[in-house]
Amino acid sequence: MSTTDAVAFWDGVHAARPAAGHPRPNARLTETVTGLPPGDALDLGCGAGGDAMWLADQGWQVTAVDISAVAVERLATLARAHGLAERVTTVPYDVHESFPPGAFDLICAHYLQSPCDLDRATALRAAAHALRPGGRLLVVDHGSAAPWSWQQEPDTRYPSSQEVAAGIGLAPETWTIERADAPRRIATGPDGRTAEVTDHVLLVRRTA
């Protein structure tokens, strides 16, 4: 699938959903980041913007990127409406093509999974290299499909967080894996339905 097709696909996904006035942050983000000193954060695949808005409200300076212009334009509007425009920078960006410039204290990639061409291992490796010493990379993947997910193929295999870490191939003398597990939670979909889902969580800290 070409970049043009990927943009059209994700623009369509976001345009089909009403713009969220108060998008919720992901549970794995809040449990990981609460208590950390705020700094510079990069939100890869910002979607509806719940993570970026929550981080900005906690004092982080956030760069939020997504391949969908619909998503980033909605987030920019939301940040202005909540008085957070100075803390949230939105950029339409295709991480399959290149990685956003800069150095960060936190990089989060929640559900950066796509039916379109996406070299995830390369993007996540670049993310690890973009961390400042002491910075963290939080990768949260689907470990199961929610009823409202675009991905409903019954034979879909969800790589474990340990497999994701192995694919990134980070040197242990420079990066430390602080968490690699598969917790379950009750999730709420866009239409209000709830379901138990599994997350594959990988947390990496740059130590040198």
State the pLDDT at residue 91.
95
- Identify the structural domains of the chain with CATH numbers, from first to last: 3-206 (3.40.50.150)
Mean pLDDT confidence for 181-205: 89
Task: Quote the pTM value.
Answer: 0.90
Whether residue 2 has pLDDT greater than 70: no
Q: pLDDT digits over 57-109, tens only?
A: 999 999 999 999 999 999 999 999 999 999 999 999 998 889 999 999 999 99
Q: pLDDT digits over 136-167, tens only?
A: 999 999 888 776 675 666 677 889 999 999 99
Contact 171, 186 (CB under 8 A): no
State the pLDDT at residue 191.
74
| C-alpha distances out from residue 73 to 5, 89, 99, Å | 19, 11, 20
| C-alpha distances out from residue 122 to 46, 77, 118, 131, Å | 19, 31, 9, 15
CA 208/CA 58 separation, integer angstroms: 26
